[in-house]
């Protein structure tokens, strides 16, 4: 979120695409899935793909979705970044993680959506 002053007025800009989440497929998956990031090890950008299936209360047209959160944690379990924090309709998604401002080491990314929770690890090498 950015707030500033331009020519005597205030403007508000909200950019939820800081890490680059985008839907890359509209075919409805049969089940949740979290894939290994690519590339891994990475420096400094990696991509993570995941799938959201059709659930009760979620329609294929995206009018309703399932609340989805993906966070990155350091080796000590401290939250390093929030990559996704929104309602998502069924489909396949890809999110980019830019670790330019992070130290080399092992990180974990965790997807929680509906009753599904999965964690995978990734390595940042600088």
Task: Tell me if 37 is assigned to some domain.
Answer: yes
pLDDT of residue 63: 55
Please tell me the total count of domains within the chain. 1
- The H-or-E segment that residue 92 falls in is strand 91-98
Q: Which residue has the tokens 């500033």?
A: 4
Q: Residue 87 is part of which domain span? A: 16-124
Task: Tell me if 93 is assigned to some domain.
Answer: yes
Query: Would you say the pTM of this structure is higher than 0.85?
Result: no
Structure token pair of residue 120: 């995978």
Q: Which residues of 9-20 are buried (b: 16+ CB within 10 A; e: fewer)?
A: eeeeeeeeeebe
- Give the closest residue to 46 by CA, choosing from 82, 95, 109: 95
Task: Tell me if 97 is assigned to some domain.
Answer: yes
Task: Tell me if 11 is assigned to some domain.
Answer: no
Task: Tell me if 10 is assigned to some domain.
Answer: no
Task: Tell me if 8 is assigned to some domain.
Answer: no
pLDDT tens-digit readout, 24-47: 887 888 899 999 999 999 999 999
pLDDT tens-digit readout, 52-99: 988 766 555 655 678 899 999 999 999 999 999 998 888 999 999 999
Task: Tell me if 1 is assigned to some domain.
Answer: no
Instruction: Report the DSSP pairing between strands 66-73 and 22-25.
Output: unpaired
CATH number of the domain at 109, please. 2.60.40.2550
Question: Which CA distances in Å does 16 have to 1, 23, 55?
Answer: 8, 14, 25
């Amino acid at each position: 979120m950015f707030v500033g002053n331009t020519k005597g007025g205030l403007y508000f800009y909200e950019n939820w695409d800081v890490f680059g989440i985008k839907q890359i497929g509209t075919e409805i998956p049969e089940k949740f899935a979290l894939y290994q990031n690519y590339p891994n090890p990475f420096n400094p950008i990696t991509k993570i793909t995941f799938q959201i299936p059709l659930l009760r209360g979620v329609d294929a047209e995206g009018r309703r979705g399932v609340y989805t959160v993906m966070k990155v944690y350091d080796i000590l379990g401290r939250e390093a970044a929030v990559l996704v924090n929104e309602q998502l309709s069924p489909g396949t998604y890809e999110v980019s993680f830019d670790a330019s401002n992070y130290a080399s080491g092992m990180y974990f990314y965790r997807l929680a959506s509906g009753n599904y929770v999965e964690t995978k690890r990734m390595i940042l090498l600088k």
